[in-house]
Amino acid sequence: MLRDRMEIIIKPSAAEAQQEAAAILRRQIREKPDCVLGMSTGSTPIPIYALLAAMHRRGELDFSRVRTFNLDEYVGLGPDHLASYRQFMQEHLFGKVNIRPENIRVPDGLAKDIPKHCADYEAAIRNAGGIDLQLLGVSRDGHIGFNEPSSSLASRTRLKTITPQTAADNAGPFGSADKVPRHVITMGIGTIMEARRCLMVATGAGKAAVVAQMIEGAITADCPATVLQMHPSCVVVLDEEAAAKLKRAAYYRWVYAHKPDWQRV
């Protein structure tokens, strides 16, 4: 359901923002049962995945034909490693719904030929018909996927070196920042931008500054998420805290309140 603009949805609480995001994903799956979803990891999508799993348990969602591609994976971690993103997805979503294993794609952190694997991953996305909806979160420095600041805005799936800040932010499953792998395989910004629709979710006061830059600032590789301003159909779902520094928040609320019925989830 293309809108030809960035849509900003501001909800009173994080829980309500997560419910809105889950409802958007539910509508995507119901409208196209064999849709291709781009999946993300980190703290942001965990409550959203829990809501989707609950919908499945209630018989509201069928994942049997859904196909997925994850944004990224750590180099050196196999799919069974407890800190791998493949395990993250299994724990928070895949193991709780009826998705078929053959329909799941996550970059291979043990790939022996990483450039070839990245090219193959791009080809697999194309062969699946492209990503219908890409779920995204944003870091405090504005990276999406593992496209750190200074990443090419036209980049494709590739090897990236993470920043010390990202290592510190992701230290939890590893015990300390120095144990976080320094290299990752990530979809590129150009890859992300080819999704038919992007769904960005950000909550909490800690994201307020980067959210304001992402939505209202200049488009720059220093804050990769700003490129989403150029996406023809991007929905950004926020809570009040994450929206606190937006200059045009009142307008975004007005637009959302006056949406036509056919655009509502």
Model pLDDT for residues 106-131, shown as the tens digit of each residue: 999 999 999 999 999 999 999 999 99
Going by pLDDT thresholds of 50, 70 and 90, the confidence category of residue 217 is very high
Overall average pLDDT of the 177-194 stretch: 97
What one-character-per-residue DSSP string does the chain give?
---SEEEEEEESSHHHHHHHHHHHHHHHHHH-TT-EEEE--SSTTHHHHHHHHHHHHTTS---TT-EEEESEEETT--TTSTTSHHHHHHHHTGGGS---GGGEE---TT-SSHHHHHHHHHHHHHHTT--SEEEE---TT--BTTB-TT--TT--SEEEEPPHHHHHHT-GGGSSGGGS-SEEEE--HHHHHTSS-EEEEE-SGGGHHHHHHHHHS--BTTBGGGGGGG-SEEEEEEETTTTTT-TTHHHHHHHHHT--GGG--
Query: What integer pLDDT is reported at residue 265 of this predicted model?
Result: 65
Question: Which of 2-6, 74-78, 193-197, 220-224 shows the lowest per-residue confidence on average (mean pLDDT)?
Answer: 2-6
In a domain, 265, yes or no: no
In a domain, 243, yes or no: yes
> What is the per-residue pLDDT across 227-258, written as a single tens digit (0 to 9) for each?
999 999 999 999 999 999 999 999 999 999 99
> What is the per-residue pLDDT across 83-99, written as a single tens digit (0 to 9) for each?
999 999 999 999 999 99
Domain of 187 in residue numbering reads as 5-258
To the query of whether residue 7 is one of the catalytic residues in this protein, the response is: no
Query: Per the residue annotation, which of 122, 148, 239, 241 is the catalytic one?
Result: 148
In a domain, 225, yes or no: yes
Query: Per the residue annotation, which of 7, 62, 141, 240 is the catalytic one?
Result: 141
Going by pLDDT thresholds of 50, 70 and 90, the confidence category of residue 55 is very high
Query: Per the residue annotation, which of 20, 56, 72, 92 is the catalytic one?
Result: 72
> Which two tokens mark 149?
């600041």
In a domain, 263, yes or no: no
Going by pLDDT thresholds of 50, 70 and 90, the confidence category of residue 32 is very high
In a domain, 213, yes or no: yes
Overall average pLDDT of the 59-73 stretch: 98
To the query of whether residue 141 is one of the catalytic residues in this protein, the response is: yes
For the chain, the domain total comes to 1
Query: What integer pLDDT is reported at residue 264 of this predicted model?
Result: 72
Query: What integer pLDDT is reported at residue 262 of this predicted model?
Result: 77
27: domain CATH number is 3.40.50.1360
To the query of whether residue 183 is one of the catalytic residues in this protein, the response is: no
Query: What integer pLDDT is reported at residue 1 of this predicted model?
Result: 44
In a domain, 169, yes or no: yes
**pLDDT over 90 at 263, yes or no:** no
Cβ atoms of 200 and 234 within 8 Å: the answer is yes
To the query of whether residue 92 is one of the catalytic residues in this protein, the response is: no
Query: What integer pLDDT is reported at residue 72 of this predicted model?
Result: 98
Query: What integer pLDDT is reported at residue 3 of this predicted model?
Result: 47
Query: Per the residue annotation, which of 56, 92, 117, 143 is the catalytic one?
Result: 143
In a domain, 81, yes or no: yes
Give percent of the chain with pLDDT exceeding 90.
95
Average pLDDT, the chain: 96
**pLDDT over 90 at 146, yes or no:** yes
In a domain, 35, yes or no: yes
